[in-house]
């Protein structure tokens, strides 16, 4: 009979033997059906036993190398032309074979939810899926992950061949782009889908990128170089002590069962201002769940008919109750909350609103315009802005994807380096609309950061400008959504970039996820075909060039007019233009096309000096195009009334 001591020794010897004969391992995104980038050196890398000899075979090539002391190895295959399928074979103490490998053009598809939006969620999904016989288009989805330090590999990921069984889960924008490219040049296309809905841009930029930026280097200095678990513990300990002191109660003792009820006594709860994100108030930097309560008095006449409650916007998720009865919920942080209240819910006398808010990262709470927080009755409107009672229910211990800088970069981009690719398709910005002016620095920083990290200084970087969305703001108030579009336009100053305008592709401006991904992909493809694939064509819409003031009119000229300017309105009315005089008060302008310029005037503006176009979140009515069908880029001729001036990205104190 074996003794415990002998068994323990045997297990130790087995472990030593396994370690000594460590097998070759590849990154998880290397696999059957993958696509390698053509016309340039192809990096292949992985891990093995220290100093182990590695032989890599591909097509007619054979490359050898040796693992370093840490077991890391890499070879660079010589450039290959498009083709396949091939077998990629890696041999050491064991042999790995990756089959059905193509050589073509690889594109990183990244950003937030509008890039993550699938073919199956897009317009005419059944028809698109039925016609998806494109075996030379391949797709891989990188799983959501975060880390405070760069990872060397991703979670399990698998390349899929495009067909009717797989395409529904492909990124919609990426697939429709690839389809248009393939139909024109017949070259295999690989799509690496590494995106995450709701993410801000700061989570996608490396620490080194921030350290190189005068705008962000002070911020990143406050981010410790420690493990995610260590950050979670610091975050939890610091937040718990601070909030328990503020609320004078232990979080573990909180019972939320009756927080929604009319009869609940909230007199000892602290107070915060609504609407205003709580990061700007005493609660401070915090992610987790908070309850907000507000009471008001109604008369017998008030409750005879139904009512509507408006709560501006809530970041991120709310569940709203009146007198203990749930009346609505939403998970779109940019959406206005407008909930109907049935007749039997409101009562004569005291009534109470209770809102459970779940904040997953970044700003939290009810935010927007004070006038948007109200109860609309049949005969009067009760303003609800001001002091609300609040109570923290729980703290989000582990950072989410937006809690701290570089988290998605570390786990979803860094492991891909130095994979070779043709370019990047980027659709992001909705989550940065509160910091639009700073996006002028953040977006170019990301592009330059990725180009440097992938050692591809000239990588194509094509992006989608924010679509029409009912986000509030206008020329007279300032508009963060419009300012974000402007920041995106300014980023075109970087070489080998391109931008798609999408203000005309939305049918429901209250939906932040327009489902027409076909035209988005087609317009991205037009830029790539023109810039990279020698298929010369008009690939963008009119862009503002110069302004001339003549009498009481403004005359605008444009670049990229193609074969001429046009409007889609059958009567020739051009909408979306505003002008202002020295008082900086904007009025909608009458506009008409004259010799491929736009002439603007308004009876309310005698001496105009400024013109805006599409300077609003909901730019549905904007209808200036070139004759090739590309919409004009929103713009302003003078920078005034910024809504997001001075809004900066910052990180929370962790202890």
Q: Which residue has the higher pLDDT, 557 or 473?
A: 557
CA distance 198 to 612: 29
Q: Which residue has the higher pLDDT, 285 or 283?
A: 283
Is 315:333 a contact under the CB 8 Å cutoff?
Answer: yes
pLDDT score for 397: 80
Which residues, 6 or more positions from 461, have their beta carbon under 8 angstroms from its beta carbon?
Answer: 423, 424, 426, 447, 450, 451, 494, 496, 497, 498
pLDDT tops 60 at residue 268: yes
Tokens linked to 161 = 């061949």
Q: What is the pLDDT of residues 322-367, one digit of tens each?
A: 999 999 999 988 789 999 999 899 999 999 999 999 998 777 999 9
Lowest-pLDDT choice from 136-150, 167-181, 317-331, 396-410: 396-410
pLDDT tops 90 at residue 1: no
pLDDT score for 22: 62
Of 501, 351, 361, nearest to 431 by C-alpha is: 361
pLDDT score for 7: 44
In whole numbers, what is the pLDDT of the chain averaged over residues?
93
pLDDT score for 233: 86
Strand order from edge to edge, sheet including 635-636: 586-588, 577-580, 610-613, 635-636
Is 204:409 a contact under the CB 8 Å cutoff?
Answer: yes
Which residues, 6 or more positions from 476, have their beta carbon under 8 angstroms from its beta carbon?
Answer: 585, 586, 641
pLDDT tops 70 at residue 79: yes
Lowest-pLDDT choice from 7-16, 100-109, 204-213, 234-243: 7-16
Residue with tokens 């139904």: 306
Q: What is the DSSP letter of 253?
A: G
- Residues 502-529 have a mean pLDDT of 95
Considering the entire predicted model, what is its pTM? Answer: 0.85
Q: What is the DSSP code string of 6-35?
A: HHHHHHHHHHHHHHHTPPPB--TT--TT-E
pLDDT score for 655: 67
- Residues 359-377 have a mean pLDDT of 90
Q: Which residue has the higher pLDDT, 532 or 510?
A: 532
pLDDT tops 80 at residue 182: yes
Pairing relationship of beta strands 189-193 and 95-111 according to DSSP bridges: parallel
pLDDT tops 90 at residue 175: yes
pLDDT score for 306: 84
pLDDT score for 245: 86
Q: Which residue has the higher pLDDT, 127 or 7?
A: 127
CB atoms within 10 A of CB 455: 11
Q: What is the pLDDT of residues 28-41, one digit of tens each?
A: 999 999 999 999 99
Report the percentage of the chain scoring pLDDT > 70.
96
- Residues 400-422 have a mean pLDDT of 96
In Å, what is the CA distance from 6 to each residue of 9, 13, 18, 148, 577?
Answer: 5, 11, 18, 42, 85
pLDDT tops 70 at residue 145: yes
Q: What is the DSSP code string of 169-214?
A: GSBHHHHHHHHHHHHHH---EEEEE---TT--GGGGS-HHHHHT-T
CA distance 566 to 562: 10
- Residues 487-516 have a mean pLDDT of 95
Lowest-pLDDT choice from 1-10, 58-67, 385-394, 586-595: 1-10
pLDDT tops 60 at residue 4: no
Confidence band (pLDDT; 50, 70, 90) for 18?
very low
CATH superfamily of 230-395: Galactose-binding domain-like (2.60.120.260)
Confidence band (pLDDT; 50, 70, 90) for 248?
confident
- Residues 168-187 have a mean pLDDT of 98
Lowest-pLDDT choice from 215-219, 323-327, 365-369, 509-513: 509-513
pLDDT tops 80 at residue 14: no
Residue extent(s) of CATH 2.60.120.260 domains in the chain: 230-395
Q: CA end-to-end span of the chain, whole Å?
A: 54
pLDDT tops 70 at residue 2: no
């Amino acid at each position: 009979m074996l003794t415990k001591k002998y068994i323990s020794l045997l297990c130790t010897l087995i472990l030593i033997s396994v370690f000594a004969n460590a097998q070759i391992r590849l990154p998880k995104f290397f696999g059957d059906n993958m696509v390698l980038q053509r016309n340039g050196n192809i990096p292949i890398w992985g891990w093995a036993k220290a100093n182990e000899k590695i032989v890599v075979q591909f097509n007619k090539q054979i490359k050898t190398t040796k693992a370093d002391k840490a077991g890391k190895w890499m070879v660079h295959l010589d450039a290959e032309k498009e083709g396949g399928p091939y077998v990629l074979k890696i041999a050491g103490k064991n042999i790995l074979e990756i089959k059905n490998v193509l050589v073509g053009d690889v594109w990183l598809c990244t950003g937030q939810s509008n890039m993550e939006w699938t073919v199956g969620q897009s317009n005419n999904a059944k028809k698109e899926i039925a016609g998806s016989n494109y075996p030379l288009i391949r797709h891989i989805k990188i799983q959501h992950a975060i880390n405070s330090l760069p990872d060397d590999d991703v979670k399990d990921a698998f390349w899929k061949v495009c067909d009717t069984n797989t395409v529904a889960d492909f990124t919609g924008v990426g697939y429709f782009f690839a389809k248009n490219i393939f139909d024109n040049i017949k070259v295999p296309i690989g799509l690496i889908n590494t995106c995450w809905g709701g993410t801000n841009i700061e989570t996608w930029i490396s620490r080194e990128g921030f350290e190189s930026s005068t705008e962000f280097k002070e911020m990143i200095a406050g981010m410790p170089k420690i493990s995610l678990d260590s950050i979670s513990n610091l975050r939890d300990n610091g937040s718990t002590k601070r909030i328990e002191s503020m609320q004078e109660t232990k979080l573990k003792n909180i019972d939320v069962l009756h927080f929604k009820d009319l009869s609940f006594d909230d007199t000892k709860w602290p107070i915060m201002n609504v609407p205003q994100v709580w990061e700007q108030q005493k609660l401070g930097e915090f992610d987790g769940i908070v309850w907000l309560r507000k009471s008001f008095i109604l008369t017998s006449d008030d409750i005879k008919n139904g009512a509507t409650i408006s709560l501006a916007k809530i970041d991120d998720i709310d569940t709203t109750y009146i007198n203990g009865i749930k009346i609505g919920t939403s998970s779109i942080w940019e959406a206005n909350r407008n909930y109907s209240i049935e007749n039997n819910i409101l009562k004569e006398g005291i009534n109470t609103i209770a809102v459970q808010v779940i904040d997953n990262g970044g700003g939290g709470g009810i935010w927007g315009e004070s006038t948007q927080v109200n109860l609309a009755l049949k005969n009067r409107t009760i303003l609800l802005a001001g002091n609300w009672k609040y109570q923290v229910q729980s703290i989000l211990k582990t950072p989410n994807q937006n809690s701290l800088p570089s988290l998605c970069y570390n786990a979803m981009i860094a492991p891909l380096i130095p994979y070779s690719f043709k370019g990047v398709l980027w659709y992001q910005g909705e989550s940065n609309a509160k910091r639009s002016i700073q996006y002028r620095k953040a977006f170019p920083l990301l592009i330059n950061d990725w180009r440097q990290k992938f050692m591809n200084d000239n990588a194509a970087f094509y992006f989608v400008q924010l679509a029409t969305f009912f986000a509030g703001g206008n020329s007279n108030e300032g508009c963060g959504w419009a300012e974000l579009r402007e920041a995106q336009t300014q980023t075109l100053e970087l070489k080998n970039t391109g931008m798609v305008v999408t203000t005309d592709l939305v049918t429901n401006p209250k939906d932040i996820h327009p489902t027409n991904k076909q035209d988005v992909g087609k317009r991205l493809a037009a830029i790539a075909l023109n810039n990279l694939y020698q298929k010369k064509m008009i690939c963008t819409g009119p862009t503002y060039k110069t302004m001339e003031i003549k009498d009481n009119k403004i005359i605008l000229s444009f670049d990229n007019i193609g074969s001429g300017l046009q409007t889609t309105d059958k009567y020739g009315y051009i909408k979306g233009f505003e002008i202002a005089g020295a008082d900086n008060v904007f009025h909608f302008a009458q506009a008409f096309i004259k010799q491929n310029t736009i002439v603007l005037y308004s009876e309310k503006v005698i001496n105009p000096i400024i013109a805006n176009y599409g300077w609003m979140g909901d730019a549905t009515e904007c209808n200036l195009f070139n004759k090739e069908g590309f919409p004009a880029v929103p713009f302003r001729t003078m920078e005034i009334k910024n809504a997001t001036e001075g809004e900066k990205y910052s990180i929370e104190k962790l202890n």
